[in-house]
Amino acid sequence: MRLGQVIPNFKANTTHGPMQFYDWQDNSWIVLFSHPADFTPVCTTELGRIAVHDPLFKKRGVKILAHSCDKLQSHTDWVNDIKSYCRDIPGDFPYPIISDEKRELAVLLDMIDEANINNEAEATTVRALYIIDPQHKLRLSMLYPQSTGRNVDEILRVIDSLQLVDRNPNIATPANWTPGEKVMILPTVKDEELSKLFPGGVDKVAMPSGITYVRTTTDYK
């Protein structure tokens, strides 16, 4: 999957019933993430922590959608284990899990590693995570091996960044940025435009090269 690619309007069976993706998405952002298998330890922590943070995703207008190649009944049974392990999940398990037994969606969305893509017996999904905007476009992807669990704080951080730069296309967020910290002003913004675009002030960083390209501000919403 390439950034900017439109996610197809797939059909799927989920723990919340049959789904037509675009109808279910509506005007929301989506975090679609795959996990290798049900009843496995790292996956249990991932789905649990994402469920715990579901109110923070909802606050950002984001819906969560999980995926694996297990059977629907397996998902349903496993959810009880997840809720038992992560006791701080608020209320019912908050998001659907896709059952992709034939691996059709996993192949379509490039969720299977190269070594096992043609080996049905071994073709479990990697830890793929796709952030999809309301126009159904892939805006960010993260691919983790089966051995490494994902960081939910980082998922929320990049969503904040994507939504911020959509509101203000003249900025970008630097390394380790979190909301409220300084952002970078794009080089395409001319100096004479700064006071109009950022009346709250701009800091310019002097570089040994003499080129002024690092300009920061906290004047954004």
**pLDDT tens digit sequence for 178-190:** 999 999 999 999 9
pLDDT over 80 at 115, yes or no: no
- Compute CA 196 distance to the chain's CA centroid, rounded to the nearest angstrom: 33
127-132 sheet: strands from edge to edge: 17-20, 11-14, 97-99, 62-68, 29-34, 127-132, 138-144
> For residue range 148-172, what is the model confidence (pLDDT) as tens digits?
999 999 999 999 999 999 999 999 9
- More confident: 185 or 122: 185
pTM for the model: 0.92
Cβ count within 10 A of residue 58: 14
Which of 16-20, 35-39, 54-58, 181-185 is predicted least confidently? 35-39
**Most confidently predicted of 18-27, 29-38, 108-117:** 18-27
pLDDT value of residue 1: 84
Where do we find the tokens 């579901």? Answer: 54
Q: Which two tokens stand for residue 107?
A: 């192949």
pLDDT value of residue 12: 97
pLDDT over 80 at 122, yes or no: no
pLDDT value of residue 29: 98
Answer for the pair 73, 29: CB distance below 8 angstroms, yes or no: no
Q: How confident is the model at residue 146 (pLDDT cuts 50, 70, 90)?
A: confident
pLDDT value of residue 221: 83
CA separation for the pair 55, 61 (Å, rounded): 10
Cβ count within 10 A of residue 12: 18
> For residue range 63-93, what is the model confidence (pLDDT) as tens digits?
999 999 899 999 999 999 999 999 999 889 9
Enumerate the β-bridge partners of residue 141.
130
Q: How confident is the model at residue 110 (pLDDT cuts 50, 70, 90)?
A: confident
